[in-house]
Amino acid sequence: MTPVNGAWHLAARPAGIPQDSDFEWREGSAPAPADGQVLVRVEWLSIDPTNRVWMNDADSYMPKLELGSVMRGIAIGRVEESRYKGLAPGDAVQGLLGWQKYAVVNGASVTKLPSLPLPLSAHFGLLGHIGLTAYFGLTDIGKPKVGETLVVSAAAGAVGSLVVQLGKIMQLRVVGIAGGPEKCSRVVEEFGADACIDYKSEDLREALRRNCPSGIDIDFENVGGRVMEVVLERINLRARVVLCGMVSQYNAQRPEGVRGIERILVQRARMEGFIVSDYLPRAAEALKQMIDWHLAGRLKYKLDVVDGLEYAPQALRRLFEGTNQGKVVVRVSEE
């Protein structure tokens, strides 16, 4: 029997933080898969700051999403019907399945997930695009050396909390930056940072001077804007600025520039941006280590689970309001 699908479509380009009216809920029968395609029942939807970037009327590292399309999103699900020889019913897959209950996609466009001693949702909290971003951003671009000082912004979030822990595993001094006392105490107590600065209530410049007495060797930059400007003021000779994200700018009609770039010149520092998909060919080397560290109790992840696809628009807003407590995922159906 053809399942009934429900999906969020992009109804309008947001001005600022996305509102409910920027999305439209539509229901209908899921189409039958054609040759080479599979029908997938979505179980987990990843809610990411980059979802907001995709809603703009401009191409980024991916083409812009057209108005009326199913909202683009990374999701995990189970194959229900397959007309693709590489996948069978029951296989768990991950890919751009969208904000919907059922997806019909080309079998070659999704990744079959291995069976691991972990729940499927770990592919969003620990592994997958979040884990690879943290691991390769820090190791390949940050090039950490024992004893160096690492500063991580949005340190209580999905990527940031993994970078903090990886930094400690790699024997760095790790200073997080996060919004609010509750997040900051989690960054220190649960994730093991040496210190965490509440940028909403502390004087960031003075707190960085106090907590990074030998300067900053690696800035793992998730936020951009004013936070990044103040961090750049303290970078050391040959520092590495890992430009992972600039979440403070994603809702801005006119993104602010970053002042203080001359510090990169004076300190002969290196600033490099990256997109996690660049590292997919090397995924196996990271995943093996991340799973081992997790099973050994050295690398934790925290999910912030929103139950029900109907709440996906609100879940996205929480990333920009800072009310998320870990990696935001929507449970679309039971695992």
Name the residue nearer to ligand NAP (CB basis): 274 or 311: 274
The least CB distance from residue 80 to ligand NAP, in Å, is: 29
Distance (Å, rounded) from C-alpha 33 to C-alpha 39? 6
Name the residue nearer to ligand NAP (CB basis): 157 or 167: 157
The least CB distance from residue 159 to ligand NAP, in Å, is: 4
The least CB distance from residue 290 to ligand NAP, in Å, is: 15
Distance (Å, rounded) from C-alpha 220 to C-alpha 143? 11
Candidate list 276, 283, 287, 332; residue touching ligand NAP; CB under 6 A: 276
Check: CB of residue 23 under 8 Å from CB of residue 100.
no
Identify the bridge partners of residue 8 per DSSP, sorted by sequence position: 25
b/e per residue, 86-115, with b = 16+ CB within 10 A? ebeeebbbbbebbbbbbbbbebeebeebee
Name the residue nearer to ligand NAP (CB basis): 70 or 247: 247
Distance (Å, rounded) from C-alpha 17 to C-alpha 265? 34
Candidate list 49, 77, 167, 192; residue touching ligand NAP; CB under 6 A: 49
Beta strands in 48-134 (DSSP E): 75-82, 92-95, 102-106, 111-112
Q: Which of 35, 36, 130, 138 is nearest to 76 (CA)?
A: 130
Total of residues contacting ligand NAP (CB under 6 A): 30
Candidate list 263, 264, 320, 333; residue touching ligand NAP; CB under 6 A: 320
Q: Does 14 bind ligand NAP (CB under 6 A)?
A: no
Check: CB of residue 136 under 8 Å from CB of residue 276.
yes
Q: Does 48 bind ligand NAP (CB under 6 A)?
A: yes
Looking at residue 58, the DSSP 8-state letter turns out to be S
Name the residue nearer to ligand NAP (CB basis): 79 or 242: 242
Check: CB of residue 253 under 8 Å from CB of residue 184.
no
The least CB distance from residue 173 to ligand NAP, in Å, is: 20
Name the residue nearer to ligand NAP (CB basis): 41 or 331: 331
CA-to-CA separations, 285 to 131, 216, 280, 281, in angstroms, rounded: 12, 28, 10, 9
Range in contact with ligand NAP (rule: CB under 6 A) among 11-19, 23-31, 209-217, 322-330: 322-330
Phi, psi dihedrals of residue 275, rounded to the nearest 5°: -125, 135
Q: Does 314 bind ligand NAP (CB under 6 A)?
A: no
Range in contact with ligand NAP (rule: CB under 6 A) among 8-16, 83-91, 120-128, 272-280: 272-280
Looking at residue 20, the DSSP 8-state letter turns out to be G
Instruction: Supply the DSSP string of 166-231, one letter for each residue.
Output: HHHHTT-EEEEEESSHHHHHHHHHTT--SEEEETTTS-HHHHHHHH-TT-EEEEEESS-HHHHHHH
Token pair recorded at residue 213: 């007495």
Q: Between 217 and 246, how does the x/- string for binding to ligand NAP read (CB under 6 A)?
A: -----xx---x----------------xxx
Q: Between 143 and 182, how does the x/- string for binding to ligand NAP read (CB under 6 A)?
A: -----------x-xxxxx-----------------xx---
The least CB distance from residue 317 to ligand NAP, in Å, is: 10
The least CB distance from residue 285 to ligand NAP, in Å, is: 17
Name the residue nearer to ligand NAP (CB basis): 77 or 179: 179
Residues that bind ligand NAP (CB under 6 A): 48-50, 129, 133, 154, 156-160, 178-179, 183, 222-223, 227, 244-248, 274-276, 319-320, 322, 324, 327
